[in-house]
Amino acid sequence: MSETVRLTVAQALVRFLGAQYSERDGVEQKLFAGCFGIFGHGNVAGIGQALLEAELAEPELLPYVLGRNEQAMVHSAAAYTRMKDRLQTWAVSTSVGPGATNMVTGAALATINRLPVLLLPADTFADRAASPLLQELELPDSGDVTVNDCFRPVSRYFDRVWRPEQLSSAMLAAMRVLTDPAETGAVTVCFPQDVQAQAHDWPVELFAKRVWHVARPLPERAAVARAAEAIRSARRPLVVAGGGVHYSGATAALAAFCEATGIPVGQSQAGKGTLLFDHPQCLGAIGSTGTTAANTIARDADVVIGIGTRYSDFTTASRTAFQADGVRFVNINVAGLDAVKHSGIGVVADARETLEALTASLADFRVDADYEAEYQRLDAEWDATVSRVHADAPSGGLLTQNAVIGMVNELTEPRDVVVCAAGSMPGDLHKLWRTRDPKGYHVEYGYSCMGYEVAGGVGVALACPDRDVVVMVGDGSYLMMATELVTAVQEGVKVITVLVQNHGYASIGALSEELGSQRFGTRYRYRSGTGRLDGDRLPVDLAANAESLGVRVLRVRTADEFAAALREAKAATTSVVVHIETDPLVPAPDSRSWWDVPVAEVSSLETTQRARKTYDDAKSTQQTFLHPSEEVSS
Ligand SMILES: Cc1ncc(C[n+]2csc(CCOP(=O)(O)OP(=O)(O)O)c2C)c(N)n1
Ligand SMILES: [Mg+2]
C-alpha cells in the first residue's frame, strides 16, 4: 500500500493545485499564481477552509485574493494568463447558485479567447439530504442538473466531483486541457458543497510536484512544403497575425520571416504588437477596424497567410476584406479548427516552429520591390493620418477620443500596457495605437465584454508589476463593472484608469445611426415628457463614484489638464482614475471597411430603408472562400 494522507476534498484540491507547474522552452513556473474567490455557504467551509489552512501553513502554495464580482475574477484571471502567454493562470472559487453562474460570462470570454482559467464553482449537495437548498435549481424532469450545467458549452473541460475518489482523474484531465495550446480555455470543475468537506485517505503521490509540458507541435514536412509552394507562387502575399503568434512566443520569428521575404503583416486585435508599429513590414490593424494600408493590401492579396488567427468577422471585415479572384489561404494554427478556415492550406502546428521552417524553405523568395514600395507608401499615409488625429483640436470645448488616445499613447512608456474591451475605443485603439512593445496592447476582442476593462487591468497589473497598466474604459463599461477598483486598492496594485465620459454608447450609437436606427436607446438621458429617452443628460458623477471606492481621482477637461493628470498618474504608486469628458460624435478616421450587421429588410422609416440599400450593396461583396486553396488558380 502506498502512503496516504487524510484530508478533505477541498484541502486535497488546494494542495494539488499548489503543486502544478508548467514548462515550455526549458522555463518552469507554477501553473497557478493563486486563487480568486468570493465565499458563500457553498465554499466558505470547504474550499474556503482549505485556503485558510494553506495561507497559515504555506502562504505561497495558493495565495487567496478576494474579488468583488465572480465574472470580474474570471476576467482578471484571463487577463493575467494572456500576459503570461498562457503558461500561468489562476483558479477561481465561488459559492453555489448566483456566485457560480456569475462566472458563465467569464468562462465564455476565456474559451473564446483561448485563455486557460480554472473555474471551481461550488455545487449543490451530492447527498441531497436537505434539498432543495438555498439557490438550488429544481427541475421537474431531472434530478442531476444544477445551474452549473450552464458551464458545459462554454468550457473546454467540464466535470463534477461527486465523490472524493473522482478528484484525481478530474484534476489531471483539467490540467491537461489547461496546458494544451489547442484545447485550452475555461476549465470548470464543480464541487458539491458536502463533498468539499468530506475526508478521504489520499495517496501522497497525488500531491507530488507535477510539470505540464506545454507543447510546440511540429509542422508536418509535407504541410510546410504545401504552404511554401503557395507562398512562392504569390505576387501579393499578406500575413494576418493573430494572438496565437504572441502565445507561441513567435514575434521574433515573425519579424525574421517578414524581413527575409518582404511580406507585410496586418494584425487582428489579439495580434497587435506581433510586429511593432514602426517595423517596415507592419501595416497595423486589419479588417473592420483596420488601417487603410492593411485593408488596401488585403483587398488585392493573392495569398493570405493567417498565423494564430481565428479569422473573426472583425478581422476579415465579415469576409469582404479579401477580394482578389482566386485568393488562397495558408493557415498556421495549433487548432485544426482554424487551420482549415477559408478552404486554406492548413499547417496544424506551433507558430514559431512553423515560421522558422517556412523562413528556411523560402530562402530564395522575396516579394517584388514594387509591392514593397506600394505597401510602405500606404503605411506612411496611414501613419500621417494617425499623427493628424492624435493632434485633433477640441470639439465643442471637449477633447476628441482620438486626441485622448494619442495623448495616452504619447505620455506612457513603451512597456506600459493599454487595456480595453468594448465600446468605441477598441476599434479606435486598433487603428490608432502605436504599439511599441509586443505586450503593450491588450484589447479583449474575442468576446468584447463590457466590464472586462477594470478587472482585466487588475489581472494585467498582477501579472506584470514592472509595467504600468492604463485601462481605457467608457462610461457604459465602467457602469457595468467598475467593482475591481476596490480589489486593486486591496491588493495595492497600481492601475491607471482613463474613464471616458460621453454620456452613453458612442459605439453602438454610431452603428445605430449608420444602420438607420437613429441612435435609438443609446444615450444616457432622462425619460422626458414625450415618453422617450430624450430628456436632459442624467446627472451621474462617475468620478465621485470612483472616489467612493477608495481610488484617487483626477477630473480634467482640457488637453493640458489631461496631460498633467497622466503625468501625475504615471508618477503615482497607487491606482488613479483620470476622468475626462469627450465628444462622442467625432469618430476615428475611416478605413473603408465593413462589418456585417443586418438591417431591417422592410421598414416604414426612411433612414432604415436607406441603410438597407447600403447594406445590400456591401453584402453582395461578401465572399464564401469555398475554392480549395491547394488548387492553383491561373
Ligand atoms: C456585456 C456587454 N453588453 C453589451 C455589449 C454591446 N455593446 C458593445 S459596446 C456598447 C456600449 C459601450 O459604451 P461605453 O463603454 O460608454 O463606450 P462608448 O461606446 O461610449 O465608447 C455596448 C452596449 C457588450 N459588448 N458587452
Ligand atoms: Mg460611452
* pLDDT per position as a tens digit, 211-223: 999 999 999 999 9
- Dihedral of CA 411/414/415/419: which sign? positive
Beta bridge partners of 399: 582
Is residue 264 within 8 A of residue 255, CB to CB? The reply is no
Among the atoms of ligand 1, which is closest to the Cα of residue 425? 21
DSSP-based three-state secondary structure for 413:
coil
Distance 422 CA to ligand 2 centre (A): 10
Is pLDDT at 343 greater than 80 in this prediction?
Answer: yes
Quick one: average pLDDT of 73-94?
A: 99
What pLDDT was estimated at residue 631? 73
**Residue 444 Ramachandran class (φ > 0 left, ψ -120 to 50 alpha, else beta):** beta
CA atoms within 13 A on the CB side of 617: 8
Alpha-carbon distance of 455 to 278, in angstroms, equals 30
Quick one: average pLDDT of 295-313?
A: 98
Q: pLDDT of 95-126, one tens digit each?
A: 999 999 999 999 999 999 999 999 999 999 99
Contacts of 109 (CB under 8 A, 6+ apart): 74, 75, 78, 115, 444, 446, 447, 449, 452
Please tell me if the CB atom of residue 502 comes closer than 6 angstroms to any atom of ligand 1.
Answer: yes
| Nearest Cα residue to atom 2 of ligand 1 | 450
Instruction: Measure the CA angle with vertex 357, ends 85 and 326; round to 5°.
Output: 95
What pLDDT was estimated at residue 633? 46
Quick one: average pLDDT of 368-376?
A: 98
DSSP H helical segments within 262-350, as ranges?
Answer: 292-300, 313-316, 336-339
pLDDT confidence tier of residue 1, bands split at 50, 70 and 90: low
Beta bridge partners of 469: 417
**Residue 361 Ramachandran class (φ > 0 left, ψ -120 to 50 alpha, else beta):** alpha
Please tell me if the CB atom of residue 289 comes closer than 6 angstroms to any atom of ligand 1.
Answer: no
Is pLDDT at 173 greater than 50 in this prediction?
Answer: yes
Between 344-348, 372-376, 394-398, the lowest mean confidence (pLDDT) is in 394-398
Contacts of 551 (CB under 8 A, 6+ apart): 485, 488, 489, 497, 574, 575, 576, 577
Q: pLDDT of 29-40, one tens digit each?
A: 999 999 999 999
Place of cell 487551420: 339
Distances (CA, A) of 452 to 69, 156, 190, 417: 11, 21, 24, 15
Average pLDDT, the chain: 97
Distance 185 CA to ligand 2 centre (A): 30
- Outline where DSSP puts E strands in 421-468: 441-443
pLDDT confidence tier of residue 2, bands split at 50, 70 and 90: confident
CA atoms within 13 A on the CB side of 398: 16
Distance 522 CA to ligand 2 centre (A): 9
pLDDT confidence tier of residue 634, bands split at 50, 70 and 90: very low
Distances (CA, A) of 293 to 224, 368, 384, 399, 530: 28, 17, 11, 27, 46
Is residue 34 within 8 A of residue 88, CB to CB? The reply is no
Cβ-based neighbour number of residue 59 at 10 Å: 10
Quick one: average pLDDT of 499-528?
A: 97
Quick one: average pLDDT of 463-473?
A: 98
Task: Indicate the top mutation candidate among 400, 428, 472, 505 to test ligand 1's pocket, ranked by most ligand atoms within 8 A of CB.
Answer: 505
Residues in the chain: 634
Dihedral pair phi/psi, residue 476, rounded to 5°: -65, -50
